[in-house]
């Protein structure tokens, strides 16, 4: 009996102490005069994400919308840790571009970066090692290097076109095809070729080991939880290290197979394996040595950052085009004008301005990665506000929410490719590739892959859409943007198709 009384008293005291502690922690922003949405005592403002009810992008959007329209920021908590969500374009530019020195790092990844493939890559590496690594990798993703990759990307078109050709027709003579699955297979083939130096056919069940191993990284509840931890509770990363490493074995093997063959035979293909060989054979800098898993890490991080983002971008763009035949016609005409009978080149692709508009408008509405963040390396006074962001605290930007804010975009929910001309806006204002020195390193490569896919498909097919269903973004729990019920489109062969 005494024991029971003892236990209940201890429990009541512990709960009381926790309550006082939590209340104090969760008053961080109110003590500084910063608004927050209603907050949960344990989870802070991320409860719906942690119980897997809503995707993080959706939770962040709700936090954004909880502020008044002209508020430059709103505070929130992940568990009891205070975070600041920036809502004002000028403030975002100030922090991420002008004051980059104070905000050079992401929260993403663990603090103790021991696992070189999973967490000590360019995605999560901290300054000053980041700057060195970025300066070594950037030249591989621009200019002539991209031109060399174009034929490798084009080689993958054949499998994709054959797949569309063979799509089975259903009873109502339609060939409904789910765009995310379709684009994932295409992008998997492209990345296998340009990054890992191997030819695959992800559309063929017998030849798609690369694709199957790749989607293991992103799919399933275990991987979703893992990504949520890496992005939003990186302090817990040591707990999930074995799961992070799980899919690495396959990619490490094919990476070294390609490297060894290339080195032995001494030929070049114009892909990223050539670049990794260059890095391996250069004089090494002790702050980051290009050897062993550090080499595998570069291509794995390109894969992780690029695969989902590019395939999501292609899927949503095709879907939007299917819903808007009028824009499809304009785009087809533009492709015809620039390409008739000519070989596809990067210079020709760069002349297609409406193609750019279509892609960026689709990315604005459905940014593949809806959230970016930065952490302060020292105390920082937010200009024009007097608010201090303390060392080690983080700021977030909700790309999907800000891109659909009527303050920044007229008729924000509508697909209007020409809006960049009407509104005199630069593409980067839609923030889809991040902003500042740490923005996406693969932007030009990504756009090239997306453009080649769209040009190839539109030159041969028209896209149709016959079910009038709203895109459901809220029921797919993932850090990337997903349509829970899929994105279905039909292909109709053009009579004057260009193979």
* Interface residues toward ligand HEM, by CB under 6 A: 122-123, 134, 141, 301-302, 305-306, 309-310, 313, 368-369, 372, 432-435, 438-442, 445-446
Residue 474 burial class via C-beta count within 10 angstroms: exposed 0-12, middle 13-18, buried 19 and up: middle
Q: Give, as one character, the DSSP assignment of residue 404.
A: T
Q: Tokens 């896209």 sit at which residue? A: 463
Q: Are strands 488-493 and 177-178 parallel, antiparallel or unpaired?
A: antiparallel
Extract the tokens encoding 162. Answer: 């054959």
CB of 33 vs ligand HEM, minimal distance in Å? 28
Residue closer to ligand HEM, measured from CB, 85 or 305: 305
Query: Which residues, 6+ apart, have CB-to-CB distance to 271 below 8 Å?
Result: 148, 149, 152, 193, 194, 195, 197
CB of 134 vs ligand HEM, minimal distance in Å? 5
Residue closer to ligand HEM, measured from CB, 80 or 134: 134
Could you tell me if 193 and 152 are in contact, meaning their C-beta atoms sit under 8 angstroms apart?
A: yes
Buried b (16+ CB within 10 A) or exposed e, 298-311: bbbbbbbbbbbbbb
Residue closer to ligand HEM, measured from CB, 57 or 442: 442
Could you tell me if 37 and 66 are in contact, meaning their C-beta atoms sit under 8 angstroms apart?
A: yes
Residue closer to ligand HEM, measured from CB, 22 or 304: 304
How many angstroms from the chain centroid is the CA of residue 343?
A: 31
Nearest to 434 by CA among 144, 75, 123, 125: 123
How many angstroms from the chain centroid is the CA of residue 95?
A: 21
CB of 95 vs ligand HEM, minimal distance in Å? 11
> In the Cβ-directed half-sphere of 178, how many Cα atoms lie within 13 Å?
10
CA 29 → CA 23, 103, 158, 341, distances in Å? 12, 20, 56, 62
Residue 167's SS3 state is: coil
Nearest to 369 by CA among 108, 148, 183: 108
Residue closer to ligand HEM, measured from CB, 39 or 301: 301
Nearest to 441 by CA among 95, 123, 187, 196: 123
CB of 152 vs ligand HEM, minimal distance in Å? 14
CB of 20 vs ligand HEM, minimal distance in Å? 37
CB of 368 vs ligand HEM, minimal distance in Å? 4
Residue closer to ligand HEM, measured from CB, 208 or 301: 301
Residue 106's SS3 state is: coil
Residue closer to ligand HEM, measured from CB, 435 or 452: 435
CB of 52 vs ligand HEM, minimal distance in Å? 23
CB of 40 vs ligand HEM, minimal distance in Å? 27
Residue closer to ligand HEM, measured from CB, 93 or 498: 93
CB of 206 vs ligand HEM, minimal distance in Å? 27
Residue closer to ligand HEM, measured from CB, 368 or 486: 368
């Amino acid at each position: 009996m005494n024991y029971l009384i003892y236990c209940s008293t201890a429990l009541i005291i512990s709960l009381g102490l926790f309550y006082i502690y939590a209340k104090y922690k969760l008053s961080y922003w109110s003590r500084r005069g910063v608004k927050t949405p209603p907050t949960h005592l344990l989870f802070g403002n991320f409860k719906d994400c942690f119980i897997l009810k809503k995707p993080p992008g959706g939770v962040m959007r709700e936090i954004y919308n909880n502020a008044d329209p002209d508020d430059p920021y709103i505070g929130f908590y992940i568990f009891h840790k205070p975070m600041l969500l920036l809502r004002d374009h000028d403030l975002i530019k100030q922090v991420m571009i002008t004051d980059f020195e104070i905000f050079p790092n992401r929260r993403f990844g663990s603090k103790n970066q021991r696992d070189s493939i999973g967490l000590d890559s360019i995605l999560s590496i901290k300054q000053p090692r980041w700057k060195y690594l970025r300066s070594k990798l950037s030249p591989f993703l621009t200019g002539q290097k991209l031109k060399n990759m174009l034929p490798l990307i084009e080689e993958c078109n054949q499998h994709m076109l054959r797949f569309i050709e063979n799509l089975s027709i259903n009873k109502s003579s339609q060939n409904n095809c789910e765009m995310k699955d379709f684009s994932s297979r295409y992008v998997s083939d492209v990345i296998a070729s340009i990054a890992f130096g191997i030819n695959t056919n992800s559309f063929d069940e017998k030849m798609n080991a690369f694709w199957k191993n790749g989607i293991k990284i992103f799919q399933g509840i275990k991987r979703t939880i893992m990504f949520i931890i890496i992005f939003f509770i990186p302090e817990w990363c040591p707990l999930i290290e074995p799961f992070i490493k799980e899919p690495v074995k396959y990619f490490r093997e094919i990476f070294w197979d390609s490297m060894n063959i290339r080195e032995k035979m001494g030929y070049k293909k114009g892909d990223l394996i050539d670049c990794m060989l260059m890095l391996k054979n250069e004089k090494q800098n002790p702050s980051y040595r290009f050897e062993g898993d550090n080499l595998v890490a570069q291509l794995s991080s390109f894969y992780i950052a690029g695969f989902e983002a590019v395939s999501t971008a292609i899927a949503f763009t095709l879907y939007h085009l299917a819903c808007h035949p009028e824009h499809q016609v304009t785009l087809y005409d533009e492709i015809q004008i620039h390409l008739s009978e000519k070989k596809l080149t990067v210079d020709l692709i760069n002349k297609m301005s409406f193609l750019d508009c279509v892609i960026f408008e689709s990315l604005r509405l459905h940014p593949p990665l809806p959230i970016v963040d930065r952490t302060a390396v020292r105390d920082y006074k937010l200009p024009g506000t007097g608010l201090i962001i303390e060392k080690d605290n983080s700021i977030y930007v909700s790309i999907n929410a800000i891109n659909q804010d009527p303050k920044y975009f007229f008729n924000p929910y509508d697909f209007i490719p020409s809006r960049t001309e009407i509104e005199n806006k630069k593409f980067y204002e839609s923030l889809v590739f991040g902003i500042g020195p740490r923005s996406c390193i693969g932007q030009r490569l990504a756009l090239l892959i997306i453009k080649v896919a769209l040009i190839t498909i539109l030159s041969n097919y028209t896209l149709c859409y016959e079910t009038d269903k709203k895109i459901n973004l809220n029921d797919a729990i993932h850090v990337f943007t997903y349509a829970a019920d899929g994105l279905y489109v039909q292909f109709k062969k053009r009579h004057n198709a260009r193979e």
